[in-house]
Chain A
Amino acid sequence: MAQVTLTDVNKIYPARDRVVHAVKDLNMTVEDGEFVAVLGPSGCGKTSTLRMIVGLESISSGTIAFDGKPVNTLTPEQRNVAMAFETYALYPNFTVAENLGFPLEVRGLAKADRDREVLRIAKLLRIESILDQKPGQLSGGQQQRVSLGRALIREPAAFILDEVMSHLDAHLKFQMLFELKRIHRSVGKTTIYVTHDQVEALALADRVAVMSNSLLQQYGTRDELYHRPANRFVADFIGEPPTNFFAAEIAEEAGTLALKINGSSLAFQPDEQRMAALRRQPVPQAIVGIRPQNLSLTPVAGAPSVTARLILNEYLGEQSIVTMEAGGTSFRALASPDFRPATGAPVTLYYRSSDVMVFDPNTEAFIG
């Protein structure tokens, strides 16, 4: 078990004609026993970060420490970090039990002790019934569990998972998310999970580090990322369907502020706290962000609303996604699957003014 600290970490790859700065001044701490996801689109620097923690990649500058002790010069073996990959990397000629027991055998553990450990891990992962089978006979989900089990059995200082679910199909993924959370809870080991999928990151992690363009954009809990995103990028990357954004003019009328959406008759009303922040803005413009989940078709007494024309109603079984258009701007909201309006019909959407997010039009930083 370990606390993992990254201090001013940089990764620079010298290339022939230019220098690639893959990770810039990264500072973050993963607490002992914490489950942290590193999330970002491809090329954001998350894999380089992970490889530096494990020791597969040198650290260009800065320090990575486990429990306060720098590990920069230690080999991957000395760091005692277990890693599971997207590809399961199981030995095809070994049974599941042999695959699981292999790291212990290498360490010279006696057979009886190995067998006991293998059984303990197999029970934890609910794979006791397939211990005698070979990887070729297993489903993708089972192989993934064996691969996790082999990493777990080593009793590592930290547990690193790299895109381990990206090619499981949706049903299996859902099951595995549930299982992985349960396993983490019972093992209680420091876990760093790298993914490009925000659903996985939010589902699993205590805290999520969102990276983009080699920089850590925000490091926080699901609630913080969701309600107080550091900038437009985070607001856009977290949540599905994606957040609606509008370019808006800040207009003052009778002591209250309204955010008038450019090119349309729509206006959003921010709450008091945001109004105060908006009054401090040097320019009368802002970017408005509102999540599709926060636009409701059900009238809410006293709630502000916007009305727009429905252009698309996507029925998805458990819910529908409706797309509206007003003055050349389009945006989405979630609806009940029973909602069946005609395309082109005007639709009124209610929202809470506290769900109206505002961003600086130049820096795209969160204003409130």
Chain B
Amino acid sequence: MAKLELDGICKGYDRPILDRLSLTVEEGEFFVIVGPSGIGKTTLLRCVAGLEVLDAGRVIFGGKDVTRVPPYRRNAAMTFESYALYPHMTVFENIASPLRARKVDKATIEKSVTDVARLLRIEQLLDRRPHEVSGGQKQRTALGRTLVAKPDVFLLDEPISHLDAKIRHELRRQFHTLQELRRVATVYVTHDYAEALSLGDRIGVMGNGGLVQIGSAREVFERPNNIFVARHLGQPSINEVACSISDSGGQITLQSASGNFVFAAGGAQRGLLQKAKGDVLVGIRPQHVRVANGAATGQIAEAKVEAFEALGATGVLIAEVGGIALTVLTSPEDDYEPGQPIRLALDVDQFLYFDPAQGNNLQTKAA
């Protein structure tokens, strides 16, 4: 049992991937790293495991510097996206392999493997070989092999992203409830923001060079510190509208830089925008704009339907408002024709404001 500390780690190939990244994952914490593919999430895990040599910085397990300790002596267990099971061994032997390598006695191995298999509901598969079990069962076998090793640090690389929805939901629940995982420091990597929000005690959103924001699920989703974070979390993606701010006696009006989309800022954000002046990048999540019915109150924008598609569980509407295209969520039962006039209710209090140069959230920057 140990906490994990990363102190200013640097790693690059032809370009820097990790640039002075520092992070502490507490004992018992489930830390999720989310980010677009190719950004360096797996490289970070490999650095922690010792599979990569750092260019600079330190990796510390439980207060002990392990930067120069080889991977097999670090007591970190890693699962790979590709499972990496031994094809000639049974499920039992695969799970037992780290214990056998440590020359643990037979009776203890038998008990540990059976316990873990029961926990993961694969006890009836112990005699099968990897090619005889499904993808979800392979994944659970790989997970069992990591759990049985009782490591100080768990490193999980996209462990469920290739599985069917049903198994994904089941495993997500197991990650929440497995006490074995909740006793050590876990670093979990995924590109799926919903998975990250669901699982992480804290979430690190990774961008070029390192973690752009670290926070709880609600913090990173509702108060992203940068447009990059807002853009990566949520689907369909957040609408981004470049606007100019005008202030007439305390009434703050925003007008889109191109076209003619105009709205008044919400009460809570007035002060902030008064100070910001000039230009601002407005982030509008699709769920914060609704197609208004007759009785709707609040700010309404006249719009026209540009396109509408019912995409399974949701309807996605692209509305043209004063020359700006906004993505709006609707019910899939709805039907809209291109060109049809509609009215949009704007939930302006939920809009996010970023500085156009750096993309930083004006609200979190001020706070």
- In contact, A316 and B194 (Cβ under 8 angstroms): yes
B228 → A minimal CB distance (Å): 13
B19 → A minimal CB distance (Å): 23
* B221 CB–A CB distance under 8 Å: yes
* B197 CB–A CB distance under 8 Å: yes
CB nearest neighbor in B for A203: B311
Measured in the bound complex, the distance between the Cα atoms of B193 and A170 in whole Å is: 9
B311 touches which of A41, A171, A177, A317 (Cβ 8 Å): A177
B278 → A minimal CB distance (Å): 30
* A350 CB–B CB distance under 8 Å: no
* A321 CB–B CB distance under 8 Å: yes
A171 touches which of B194, B218, B235, B316 (Cβ 8 Å): B235
* A253 CB–B CB distance under 8 Å: no
- In contact, B165 and A198 (Cβ under 8 angstroms): yes
Q: Which residues of A contact B169 (CB under 8 A)?
A: 240-242, 321, 332
**From residue 176 to 223 of chain A, which have CB atoms closer than 8 A to chain B?**
177-178, 181-182, 196, 198-199, 202-203, 222
**Range class of the B interface residue count:** 35 or more
Q: Which residues of A contact B218 (CB under 8 A)?
A: 315
B192 touches which of A170, A236, A242 (Cβ 8 Å): A170
- B15-42 vs A: 1/0 string, CB under 8 Å? 0000000000000000000001100000
* A318 CB–B CB distance under 8 Å: yes
CB nearest neighbor in B for A171: B237
Measured in the bound complex, the distance between the Cα atoms of B223 and A317 in whole Å is: 11
Measured in the bound complex, the distance between the Cα atoms of B172 and A316 in whole Å is: 12
- In contact, A318 and B165 (Cβ under 8 angstroms): no
* B123 CB–A CB distance under 8 Å: no
- In contact, B197 and A315 (Cβ under 8 angstroms): yes
- In contact, A170 and B235 (Cβ under 8 angstroms): yes
- In contact, B235 and A222 (Cβ under 8 angstroms): no
- In contact, A178 and B197 (Cβ under 8 angstroms): no
- In contact, A169 and B217 (Cβ under 8 angstroms): no
- A31-66 vs B: 1/0 string, CB under 8 Å? 000000000011000000000000000000000000
* A312 CB–B CB distance under 8 Å: yes
Measured in the bound complex, the distance between the Cα atoms of B236 and A323 in whole Å is: 25
CB nearest neighbor in B for A239: B313
Contact (A323, B173) CB under 8 Å given A170-B191, A203-B311: yes
CB nearest neighbor in B for A315: B217
Measured in the bound complex, the distance between the Cα atoms of B94 and A166 in whole Å is: 29
* Contacts between the two chains (Cβ within 8 Å), count: 83
**From residue 255 to 312 of chain B, which have CB atoms closer than 8 A to chain A?**
285, 287, 307, 309-312
- In contact, B197 and A41 (Cβ under 8 angstroms): no
- In contact, A41 and B164 (Cβ under 8 angstroms): yes
* A252 CB–B CB distance under 8 Å: no
Measured in the bound complex, the distance between the Cα atoms of B164 and A240 in whole Å is: 10
> Size of chain A's interface in residues, with CB distance under 8 A?
32
**From residue 177 to 210 of chain B, which have CB atoms closer than 8 A to chain A?**
177, 191-194, 197-198
B173 → A minimal CB distance (Å): 6
* A293 CB–B CB distance under 8 Å: yes
A211 → B minimal CB distance (Å): 14
Contact (A317, B217) CB under 8 Å given A240-B165, A242-B169: yes
B348 → A minimal CB distance (Å): 18
* A224 CB–B CB distance under 8 Å: no
A213 → B minimal CB distance (Å): 14
Contact (A242, B166) CB under 8 Å given A222-B312, A293-B313, A314-B172: yes
A178 touches which of B191, B234, B316, B332 (Cβ 8 Å): B316
- In contact, B165 and A241 (Cβ under 8 angstroms): yes
Measured in the bound complex, the distance between the Cα atoms of B316 and A318 in whole Å is: 14
- In contact, A317 and B233 (Cβ under 8 angstroms): yes
Measured in the bound complex, the distance between the Cα atoms of B193 and A321 in whole Å is: 14
- B151-178 vs A: 1/0 string, CB under 8 Å? 0000000000000111001001100110
* A174 CB–B CB distance under 8 Å: yes
- In contact, B312 and A316 (Cβ under 8 angstroms): no
Q: Which residues of B contact A41 (CB under 8 A)?
A: 164
Q: Which residues of B contact A323 (CB under 8 A)?
A: 173
- In contact, A316 and B164 (Cβ under 8 angstroms): no
B216 → A minimal CB distance (Å): 9
- A291-326 vs B: 1/0 string, CB under 8 Å? 001000000000000000000101111100101000
Q: Which residues of B contact A312 (CB under 8 A)?
A: 173, 176-177
Interface centre among B191, B236, B309 (most CB of A within 10 A): B309
CB nearest neighbor in A for B329: A318
- In contact, A174 and B193 (Cβ under 8 angstroms): no
B312 touches which of A169, A202, A237, A318 (Cβ 8 Å): A202
B179 → A minimal CB distance (Å): 14
Q: Which residues of B contact A332 (CB under 8 A)?
A: 169
- In contact, A240 and B313 (Cβ under 8 angstroms): yes
B334 → A minimal CB distance (Å): 14
B36 touches which of A169, A237, A314, A321 (Cβ 8 Å): A169
CB nearest neighbor in B for A205: B312
- In contact, B172 and A174 (Cβ under 8 angstroms): no
A177 → B minimal CB distance (Å): 6
- In contact, A242 and B165 (Cβ under 8 angstroms): yes
Q: Which residues of B contact A202 (CB under 8 A)?
A: 311-313
CB nearest neighbor in B for A177: B311
**From residue 259 to 307 of chain A, which have CB atoms closer than 8 A to chain B?**
293
Measured in the bound complex, the distance between the Cα atoms of B194 and A181 in whole Å is: 25
Measured in the bound complex, the distance between the Cα atoms of B173 and A198 in whole Å is: 21
A358 → B minimal CB distance (Å): 20
- In contact, A316 and B166 (Cβ under 8 angstroms): no
Q: Which residues of A contact B234 (CB under 8 A)?
A: 317-318
Interface centre among B217, B285, B313 (most CB of A within 10 A): B313
- In contact, A182 and B307 (Cβ under 8 angstroms): yes
Contact (A178, B165) CB under 8 Å given A170-B191, A318-B234: no
Q: Can you list 5 residue pairs at the A/B interface with Cβ under 8 Å? A: A42-B135, A202-B312, A202-B313, A318-B234, A323-B173
Q: Which residues of A contact B (CB under 8 A)?
A: 41-42, 169-171, 174, 177-178, 181-182, 196, 198-199, 202-203, 222, 236-237, 239-242, 293, 312, 314-318, 321, 323, 332
Q: Which 9 A-B pairs have the closest CB atoms?
A: A202-B312, A203-B311, A314-B198, A317-B221, A203-B312, A242-B166, A240-B165, A316-B194, A315-B217
